[in-house]
Amino acid sequence: MSDPVAGVLGVLRDRRQSVGTAESLTGGLLCAALTEVPGASAVVRGAVVGYAPEVKAQVLGVPEELLRDHGTVSRECAEAMAVGGARALGADWCLATTGVAGPEPSEGWPVGTVHVALADREQAVGHRVLTLHGDREQIRAATVAAALDLLRSGLTRDGHRDGVR
């Protein structure tokens, strides 16, 4: 995984941009994948692991009414986590992960239902809903890969953003 991650980090470094993560079901694995690459400290700001709904609300700024109306396993929650994470970490970009890794369903959603989102400090700019299969470890690993792919495609689409915003 390091080569594609190194490429994404290189793009961020060239643009003088930073990235952070707001993680629920991945529990820090996404940030760990980013920091696996030597020199990652030049662009990785950090991570907030908001596993509990209260942390999503209090630390990441996810509105409580959003959590009540849509739940934590939702596009809306993932996007709000990503925006809140970018703000909390002072990052240009933030990747968020939320969903159900198992072993039991959550909030009426089956195991393998996952949402990943990409945002800047103002708005979500990308989202993917995933239906994954496998055990908890496989679901979390596939979520990390999907989130990194979302960042890679977001940076490709967003080539006009140069320098620090």
Q: Tell me, letter by letter, the H, E, C secondary structure of the chain.
A: CHHHHHHHHHHHHHHCCCEEEEECCCCCHHHHHHHCCCCHHHCEEEEEECCCHHHHHHCCCCCHHHHHHHCCCCHHHHHHHHHHHHHHHCCCEEEEEEECCCCCCECCECCCEEEEEEECCCCEEEEEEEECCCCHHHHHHHHHHHHHHHHHHHHHHCCCCCCCC
User: Is residue 152 assigned to a domain?
Assistant: yes
**103-145 pLDDT, tens per residue?**
999 999 999 999 999 999 999 999 999 999 999 999 999 999 9
Structure confidence at residue 162 (pLDDT): 40
Residues of the chain above pLDDT 70, percent: 94
Give the domain extent around 6: 2-157
Place 3 in a pLDDT band, splitting at 50, 70 and 90. confident
Place 158 in a pLDDT band, splitting at 50, 70 and 90. low
User: Is residue 163 assigned to a domain?
Assistant: no
User: Is residue 162 assigned to a domain?
Assistant: no
**Which tokens sit at 120?**
């800047």
Mean pLDDT calculated for residue range 6-23: 97
User: Is residue 31 assigned to a domain?
Assistant: yes
What CATH code is carried by the domain that includes residue 8? 3.90.950.20
Total of domains in the chain: 1
User: Is residue 164 assigned to a domain?
Assistant: no
Q: What average pLDDT is seen over the chain?
A: 94
User: Is residue 165 assigned to a domain?
Assistant: no
User: Is residue 121 assigned to a domain?
Assistant: yes
User: Is residue 144 assigned to a domain?
Assistant: yes
**Which residue has tokens 């596939």?**
142
